[in-house]
Structure 1
Amino acid sequence: MSSNSSSPGNSPSPGSSEKGNSASASTNKQKEKARVSRTSLILWHAHQNDSAAVRKLLEEDRSLVQARDYDNRTPLHVASLHGWVDVAKTLIEFGADVNAQDRWKNTPLADAEGAKKYNMVELLKSYGGLSFGQTGSHFEPKPVPPPLPNKCDWEIEPSELDFSNSAIIGKGSFGEILKACWRGTPVAIKRILPSLSDDRLVIQDFRHEVNLLVKLRHPNIVQFLGAVTEKKPLMLITEFLRGGDLHKYLKEKGALSPSTAVNFAMDIARGMAYLHNEPNVIIHRDLKPRNVLLVNSSADHLKVGDFGLSKLIKVQNSHDVYKMTGETGSYRYMAPEVFKHRKYDKKVDVFSFGMILYEMLEGEPPLSHFEPYEAAKYVAEGRRPICRAKGYIPELRDLTERCWDADMNLRPSFLEILKKLEKIKETLPTDHHWSLFNP
């Protein structure tokens, strides 16, 4: 930069060096944020079988072909698991490592074989792909004996958990959530109260949550690491996210700029679109700011968590509706059909998302002048919060109103929401915090 150049008779002014260093540090920080965002994008598009979007990202930045998620999985791992051949071909064209290994030492070919995606197996082998890892065959020349009864590879021995510097980060009627350490890594631990560890229903719900979490793997979903199910107290271990929850963040920051709100909303929508993917639909049923977590204090990446009330439903028909427990979840973000104990489907999560979008733009919870139960009753009567914030541009107001439509069939899917948010994002002026996230 010219401000840092010096020559005889033209020495830099005092402090200019420090300013240059500060500007450089700021630029590096923004570049790092942009990289994190693009990593999430390429993993998302690989998951969605969108080879055109994957190609566009790689043309802008070839290094994204080696992007890694929390489990060290590359976009090629994601494509291989789902059998998305066109996406895999695009990634290989841009130099993807066909033998990259994830956290479990699995290669893309091992994933494809495990998922019985035979066209993908053929493709990867033609490019020199090898099969090794826990689900591969390279290290398993002999048949693997079945696991011991009730033993799972995610079962954690309580002695591996270090509570010496633990801190309570959440409490509920079931127990508490603590920040502790597992094998030297900070983790979040949901610990069931010893007095409830023999309660049949509590054990049933706990095992249900574990069985649900073990199947989930997505950049915008809190990552399950393991559980203690054979000893008391029962414990569920997930990654620890340093940024806290969205509820706390909004309490401190107030209303967000439209640009930041849209970026936050896109991360939530990506996670929810993954959960709602048919035929195995997971309805969260308690989507609210407290259950949306920020990866770090820079708030450059969000994840959906807490699946204690979620339900996994095998969908036979995309219009299936389910009769499930009424009044499940948190009143302030609750869809009217749930409050009224009527039949409902995955669109209850879309309603809750609309309420979260409202809160991000308004800077306060929906219907904050009501007690939670009264707020749910007010909404069930057909009324809605009033959009007052300047950030409520017409497109965002329209999207919010569609999300909380009284007729759940008229609410958009999360894939539709994502497309709408992407269009809105293109029209918004970027604020400083997110400036490099908008190529």
Structure 2
Amino acid sequence: MEGLANQLKRGISRQFSTGSLKSLSRQFSRQSSLDPRRNNLRFSFGRQSSLDPIRRSPLHDHAQLSVPENLDSTMHLLFMASRGDVKGVEDLLDEGVDVNSIDLDGRTALHIAACEGHVEVVKLLLSRRANIDARDRWGSTVCADAKYYGNVEVYNILKARGAKAPKTTRKTPMAVANPREIPEYELNPLELQVRKADGIAKGMYQVAKWNGTKVAVKILEKERCADPESINSFKHELTLLEKVRHPNLIQFVGAVTQNFPLMIVAEYHSKGDLASYLQKKGRFPPSKALRLALDIARGINYLHECKPYPIIHCDLKPRNILLDDGGLLKVAGFGLIRLSNISPDKAKVAPGTIIDHSNVYMAPEIYKDEIFDRSVDAYSFGVVLYEMLEGVQPFYPKSPGEAVKLMCLENQRPPFKIKSRSYPPDLRELIDECWLSEPGGRPTFSEIITRLDRICSNCSKQGWLKDTFKLPWKNMEEDRRFSSKKSRVSELHITH
């Protein structure tokens, strides 16, 4: 049993040193005697990480150093490495101390010995299978540290063993000067495995794996970081995603902002989006349309009620509405269109923002580049609800571009081709109000939710909802209950 425990300990420490368990490393490796929550002083071994932006005064007179009290085995090992005490390091390793144990900064004994230029200690640690490419919290490798401090012999030994020395000039537009200012959502890029797929356009999410879990990743390549507009759009989307939390909104996982390329990571939905499902299945029965419409309305209402300023989606369409495994719809794509705030309730599309004028779900105010308010989302919602009930886009088979002109410039609305008795008249009336040309006449989403609930109640009494609808997953209600107990990560495709 003791041998098994030691193996487990070594395995965990080894993963810490490679960064694969970075998010948990602070819990397991924190030393009580040096816990910054109890003591603001940082124990220094002398030279620090080559990529640490905080320049502390190094201790060069190692003859004056003595072993501090209350050091645990990990810190003891690193201290001996800093002194160049080969015998002391060897004794600790023989006693079972893991050669890849790390301190609060993710530094191993090999990092420390490389910084100080202790050749024999480096050789000993390498002979004991020290991780030659371990990275500290700033991403610095052992080889980079040896090179930075001019320890040529150590550097040559490491390079001969195939060690990597990352460039030290990687500074992103969002890099912080103080590592303590690194945002909590920051992910280790080494934990992300991005699948390079053909056909992925710039500005779109693609499938990746984060510590074995499927996620969706939007990547901003290094060359685009020189474009202020690209950086501003990235920051804007990241700010909104980080801010919102709702069951009917896409879930933000984290981001990479301190390394290239910049990335935004969100949950992945394997069931795809509403546009694909509509194309495959056609129109929905009233029961299904009502339930899905409520999911959309609740998500948008949450955005509109955000304080101090409402979040206006501006690009609500089936492609930006995702299906999850638990039977819920989740709204995505908000934050992709940058706005210029005119007042707390009024906005305009920011100069230079590209607008797709073939987007049939677009409100006339956006199409005409006018000042607008949150009612533009009610307009888009009405068009989406129309498509769910009719099974086709407005004015089909005309092209989307022609349909947009009819709706936004000529103020025409598509006919309801499905017989009126096929769905509740109150639902058609709601659609007519949502896509009114006059923004002031459109209902708010809190009103939309109230009316949809009332329609559901009336339809239930009249027998409209007697048949439980079925989505591709077999038992939606059972899956919905399961989803409320356990969060899942699913597929995401968002068009820019």
**TM-score over 0.5 for the alignment?**
yes
Partner of 1:376: 404
The Cα of 1:430 is off from its aligned counterpart by 3.5
| Counterpart contact for 1:176–1:193, Cα < 8 Å | no
3-state secondary structure, aligned to 2:348 = coil
Mapping for residues 58-69 of structure 1, pairs under 5 Å? none
1:279 partner amino acid: P
Mapping for residues 32-431 of structure 1, pairs under 5 Å? 148=179, 151-163=182-194, 166=195, 168=197, 171-172=200-201, 174-277=202-305, 278-296=307-325, 300-310=327-337, 320-325=345-350, 328=355, 331-380=359-408, 381-390=410-419, 391-426=422-457, 427=459, 428-431=464-467
Query: How many Å separate the matches in 2 of 1:144 and 1:152?
Result: 22
Query: How many Å separate the matches in 2 of 1:261 and 1:196?
Result: 41
Alignment root-mean-square deviation, CA:
3.2
Query: How many Å separate the matches in 2 of 1:249 and 1:175?
Result: 23
The Cα of 1:327 is off from its aligned counterpart by 7.3
1:321 partner amino acid: K
| Counterpart contact for 1:247–1:289, Cα < 8 Å | yes
Partner of 2:51: none
The answer to which of 424-433 and 300-309 deviates more is 424-433
TM-score w.r.t. the length of structure 1 is: 0.61
Query: How many Å separate the matches in 2 of 1:289 and 1:409?
Result: 24
Query: How many Å separate the matches in 2 of 1:351 and 1:162?
Result: 39
The Cα of 1:341 is off from its aligned counterpart by 1.6
3-state secondary structure, aligned to 2:226 = coil
The Cα of 1:197 is off from its aligned counterpart by 3.4
| Counterpart contact for 1:362–1:387, Cα < 8 Å | yes
Structure with bigger RCO (C-alpha 8 Å, 6+ apart): 2
Q: Deviations over 1:312-339 (max 9, x none)?
A: 888976xx33333487456210111111
3-state secondary structure, aligned to 1:287 = coil
| Counterpart contact for 1:179–1:240, Cα < 8 Å | yes
Task: State which structure, 1 or 2, has the greater radius of gyration over its C-alpha atoms.
Answer: 2
Residues 226, 312 of structure 1: CA spacing in aligned structure 2 closer, same or farther, 3 A cutoff? farther
The answer to which of 225-234 and 332-341 deviates more is 225-234
Q: Deviations over 1:152-184 (max 9, x none)?
A: 111112111023xx3759844x34421111112
Unaligned runs of 5+ in 2: 1-22, 25-35, 43-176, 481-496
1:419 partner amino acid: T
3-state secondary structure, aligned to 2:270 = coil
Percent same amino acid among aligned pairs?
40
Query: How many Å separate the matches in 2 of 1:301 and 1:257?
Result: 17
3-state secondary structure, aligned to 1:282 = coil
1:423 partner amino acid: R
The Cα of 1:150 is off from its aligned counterpart by 5.4
Query: How many Å separate the matches in 1 of 2:303 and 2:375?
Result: 12
Query: How many Å separate the matches in 1 of 2:339 and 2:243?
Result: 11
2:416 partner amino acid: C
| Counterpart contact for 1:286–1:328, Cα < 8 Å | no
3-state secondary structure, aligned to 2:208 = strand
Query: How many Å separate the matches in 2 of 1:337 and 1:161?
Result: 40
Q: Deviations over 1:59-116 (max 9, x none)?
A: xxxxxxxxxxxxxxxxxxxxxxxxxxxxxxxxxxxxxxxxxxxxx99xxxxxxxxxxx
The Cα of 1:369 is off from its aligned counterpart by 2.4
Query: How many Å separate the matches in 1 of 2:340 and 2:247?
Result: 22
3-state secondary structure, aligned to 1:290 = helix
The answer to which of 255-264 and 189-198 deviates more is 189-198
Residues 167, 419 of structure 1: CA spacing in aligned structure 2 closer, same or farther, 3 A cutoff? farther
3-state secondary structure, aligned to 1:204 = helix
Unaligned runs of 5+ in 1: 1-103, 106-138
Residues 311, 262 of structure 1: CA spacing in aligned structure 2 closer, same or farther, 3 A cutoff? farther
